Structure 1
Amino acid sequence: MKANVKLYWILTAFFMVLAGLYTVWSLLDQAHQRVEWVGTITLLLSGILWALIAFYLGKVHDAQGGELAEDRLDANIEDGDAEQGHFSPWSWWPIVLAAAVSLVFLGVAAGAWIAFIGGGILVVSLVGWTYEYYRGYFAR
């Protein structure tokens, strides 16, 4: 992950320098002699995007306490055999959520009334999936 962070900081610097060069180049253009804002802002925002990704991954790398087993060349397969998260294999809520999102997108494409129905089902499925461990058989 450390190599990724370095790569993203290099990309940040590249896009920032490129934004400066693009701005100067557009000012030196004999036909217009003014800043071309679309390209300048696009390159600046691209640099900011890479900076945000690099900053986030740097913080994640620091928080995890060093290199993971996947990042080391001398690691064995069983070194990265840790708990990856908590998943409910019996939960039906992700299927309902996918159907609701499908209805919302269908409503955007075909008719707004379908999107309203999908939006209602979407809210119910999000609440159901979020609180499935707080009620019923699995309540804690």
Structure 2
Amino acid sequence: MKVEARLFDVITVFFFLAAIIYGLWAKEVVGIVGLILTGGLSLLVASYFHFVARRTAGRAEDNPDAEIADGAGELGFFSPGSYWPVGVAAAAALAALAMAFWQVWLLVIAVVCLLLTVGGLVFEYHTRPNATD
């Protein structure tokens, strides 16, 4: 995570410097505020990556002398065939459509559909604990 943290550190410095230069050059308030807020958001991400990097073991990406084989191995579990993401996308599209036309009844339906599909996605591989009788 150190590589990502450094990357966002550079982005944060760039946006704050761009805000200063833009403020001196253009004297326009909205652009300055936008650049400062963008720098603040990238600072939040950089802080998170620094926080996580201190608490996790070093990865192959963080070692400049690492070989490609050092990064081999299992990366995690990825569902081979799940239709829940399609349902989440459809419910989110329905919610966006409801907000675009401000149809509150459709927004309520979309939020319920969104909650159901996200719940299905999260608990897709959940198994209940064994009952001991």
What TM bracket, shorter-length normalisation?
0.5 to 0.7
CA distance in 2, matches of 1:109, 1:22: 34
| Corresponding residue for residue 105 of structure 1 | 96
Cα distance in 1 for residues equivalent to 2:95 and 2:106 = 7
| 1:72-123 deviations in Å (ceiling 9; x for gaps) | 45324364313414x4556554343333223323434567244433222222
Provide closer, same or farther for how the CA distance between residues 129 and 14 of structure 1 changes in structure 2, counting only shifts above 3 A: closer
* TM-score, length-scaled by structure 2: 0.66
State the one-letter code of the partner of 1:22: Y
Evaluate the alpha carbon distance shift between residue 133 and residue 71 of structure 1 in structure 2; reply closer, same or farther with a 3 A threshold. Answer: same
Per the normalisation by structure 1, the TM-score is 0.64
How many percent of aligned residue pairs carry the same amino acid? 33
Distance 1:11 1:127, change over 3 A: closer
Larger radius of gyration: 1
What residue identity is the alignment partner of 1:104? Answer: A
What number of residue pairs does the alignment pair up? 127
Q: Distance in 2 between matches of 1:11 and 1:83?
A: 27
1:71 and 1:108 map into 2 onto residues whose CA distance is: 43
Structure 1: unaligned runs, 5 residues or longer: 27-34
Q: 5+ unaligned residues in a row in structure 2: which ranges? A: none
> Following superposition of structure 1 onto structure 2, how do residues 1-140 of structure 1 map, counting pairs within 5 Å?
1-26=1-26, 35-66=27-58, 68-72=59-63, 73-77=65-69, 79-85=71-77, 87-89=78-80, 92-109=83-100, 112=103, 113-132=105-124, 138-140=127-129
Give the aligned partner of residue 32 of structure 1.
Answer: none
Q: Give the letter for the 2:42 counterpart.
A: W
The RMSD of aligned alpha carbons is: 3.2
- Closer/same/farther in 2, CA of residues 75 and 132 from structure 1, 3 Å limit: same
Q: CA deviation at 1:38?
A: 0.9
8 Å CA contact retained: 1:70, 1:80: no
Secondary structure at 1:45 match in 2: helix
Equivalent residue letter for 1:99: A
